[in-house]
Amino acid sequence: MDDAETLVQLRRLALLVAQGVPPEEVFAAVCKEIWRHFGGSTARLFRYELDGTVTLLANEGTTGPHVRVGERWEGYPPAGLTASVQRTGKIGRINDFRELPGGQKYADEGLISAVGMPIHANGRLWGMIAVGSSEGRLPDDTEARMAAFTELCAIAVANAQSRAELVSSRARLVAAADEARRQIERDLHDGAQQRLVALALRLRSVTDADGAAEVAADLMTVIDELRELSRGIHPAVLSDSGLRPALRALARRSPLPVEIDVRLDARLPSAVEIGVYYVVSEVLTNAVKHANATVVLVEVSVGEDVLELCVRDDGVGGADPSRGSGLVGLTDRIAALGGTIEVASPPGGGTTITCRVPV
Amino acid sequence: MTLRCLLVDDNQHFLLAARDLLEREGLTVAATAEDSAGALGRAAELHPDVALVDINLGGESGFDLAARLAPIPVIMISTHSGEDYADLIAASPAIGFLSKIELSAIAVRDLVAAR
Ligand SMILES: Nc1ncnc2c1ncn2[C@@H]1O[C@H](COP(=O)(O)OP(=O)(O)OP(=O)(O)O)[C@@H](O)[C@H]1O
Ligand SMILES: [Mg+2]
């Protein structure tokens, strides 16, 4: 295959990604181009998931009962390509599946040899592209040829995925903002506004000082309610005095003991201050709601050009973002600031949320 | 003859204050209810001359209730501005709308008389 044709192939992929087609289509197209490019019998694209499982994203060529696109790739032998690339993050090769322990099902599909290339994206092992041959041993230059071509394909694949993630995170952010406004309207309407209407009616029938005193006392509770509500919309102390006093105020209001260590000299961009504030606020709420914790630690420090936040509770662990909207919302919010957030929550081992945001 | 009315609103503070005010101003509040089921029950029992129904009864629609209360004349009430709901009020069997803050015995009587 010559360079001109390679360029045509890559251009096709780049166009697909630019059009924003669903990632599944890009995965299938990439797989097909690789299969074509190497004239092999089989090409396969896998993704290594964060929980250690593997998903088969696309398949072209030979197949068998274990080949189920879009599903978990299971029962792969420890010395096979999937496992070795996952373990080492490096290129792997099988010269003869018939000699690989546990490799019989691949031999049964008609495969003899295969080469697997790792795909790295965003600083981690993202997946693997594998090319297989039924003819015999893949030529020695396969690795070198694959390295150049798959690197470009990997970019297409990773871009397609991050683009899809971006689209859904953007939609979630907008939906969360809309929902928050709806909630504020409801709280205002069902709470303070109704109370004030009732008080206005009562004032019209007040005839003595006692009645007036009652109305005045009720007005105080409405004022308290409004103060709580406006703090929920945006804490004033955060905008006028910054993160440290705002976090200390959050900690004081929490029913759990909170130890707080904010090492911070200057004010930060307000988007960052607000983002960090909401992370701490949600995580404290979670610790109270779910963790059965006895204490929560909050640490904030600012390095060269990154803010680091760590919130840790000593509770039951087992936090799972897919069970609610709070943690997913934080991930979206921090991602929008160009930052990252990690949730470590082993069962019985407490919950630690680590967050890094560029400043 | 004093007008006997049924007050329907999901907010207790409002029910208490409105009942007080309307009675002081010379209406009889035959009953209050916080939801549709309660309102229909009290209406069947007491045959009020007019029902004052909040447009938004928590999860329930005050307009739906208004239709089910027929032939009892209904005045829709709300803390929201009547303008927002003008079309819905016009399309409903309600005989009119009163903002909660403007509630008075005279306003209720006027709407019932103008029907
Ligand atoms: N600190 C924690 N300790 C133990 N479990 C937790 C902790 N934080 C979260 N979880 C678990 O993870 C799930 C997801 O949390 P998340 O904050 O996303 O949702 P939620 O708190 O249930 O609801 P909301 O959308 O109101 O935040 C929770 O339902 C809970 O089971
Ligand atoms: Mg939560």
Nearest to A194 among B14, B20, B24 (CB): B14
Residue A93 makes CB contacts below 8 A (sequence gap 6+) with: A81, A113, A114, A115, A116, A138, A143
B101 vs A contacts (CB less than 8 Å): 197, 200-201
The answer to whether the CB atoms of A190 and B24 lie below 8 A apart is no
pLDDT in tens, A118-159: 988 767 888 999 999 999 899 998 898 888 777 777 777 777
CA distance A237 to A147: 54
Look up residue B28 and give its two tokens.
């009889």
The residue ranking higher by pLDDT, B60 or A11, is: B60
The average confidence (pLDDT) of chain A is 90
CA distance B95 to B83: 15
**Could you write out the DSSP letters of every residue in A230-261?**
HHHH--HHHHHH-HHHHHHHHHHH-SS-EEEE
- Does the C-beta of A327 come closer than 6 Å to ligand 1? yes
pLDDT in tens, A40-50: 799 999 999 88
Among residues A42, A327, A295, the alpha carbon closest in space to that of A176 is found at A327
Tell whether A202 is within 8 A of chain B (Cβ).
yes
Distance between first and last Cα of chain A: 48
Among residues B48, B74, B79, B71, the alpha carbon closest in space to that of B63 is found at B74
Q: Is B102 helix (H, G, I), strand (E, B) or coil?
A: helix
Quick check: A51 pLDDT over 90?
A: no
Look up residue A102 and give its two tokens.
């546990």
CA distance A128 to A358: 30
- Does the C-beta of A326 come closer than 6 Å to ligand 1? yes
Smallest Cα distance from B69 to chain A, Å: 24
Tell whether B27 is within 8 A of chain A (Cβ).
no
Per-residue confidence at A211, pLDDT binned at 50, 70, 90?
Answer: confident
What is the per-residue pLDDT for B61?
A: 93
Which numbered atom of ligand 1 lies nearest the CA of A286?
Answer: 8
- From ligand 1's centre to the CA of A330, what distance in Å? 12
Per-residue confidence at A2, pLDDT binned at 50, 70, 90?
Answer: low
Per-residue confidence at A11, pLDDT binned at 50, 70, 90?
Answer: confident
Mean pLDDT (whole number) for A314-343: 93
> Token match 């779910």: residue?
A290
What is the per-residue pLDDT for A311?
A: 97
Phi, psi of A287, rounded to the nearest 5 degrees: -60, -40
Smallest Cα distance from A53 to chain B, Å: 44
The answer to whether the CB atoms of A198 and B13 lie below 8 A apart is yes
CA distance B37 to A73: 55
pLDDT in tens, B11-56: 998 999 999 999 999 999 999 999 999 999 999 999 999 999 999 9
CA distance B110 to B99: 14
Q: Is A77 helix (H, G, I), strand (E, B) or coil?
A: coil
Contact A350, A338 (CB under 8 A): no
> Which amino acid, one-letter code, is at A241?
S
The residue ranking higher by pLDDT, A51 or A234, is: A234
The residue ranking higher by pLDDT, A287 or A30, is: A287
Break chain B into its structural domains and give their ranges.
53-93
B80 vs A contacts (CB less than 8 Å): 189
Tell whether B88 is within 8 A of chain A (Cβ).
no
pLDDT in tens, A69-86: 999 999 999 999 999 999
Quick check: A1 pLDDT over 70?
A: no
Contact B65, B76 (CB under 8 A): no
> Which amino acid, one-letter code, is at B99?
S
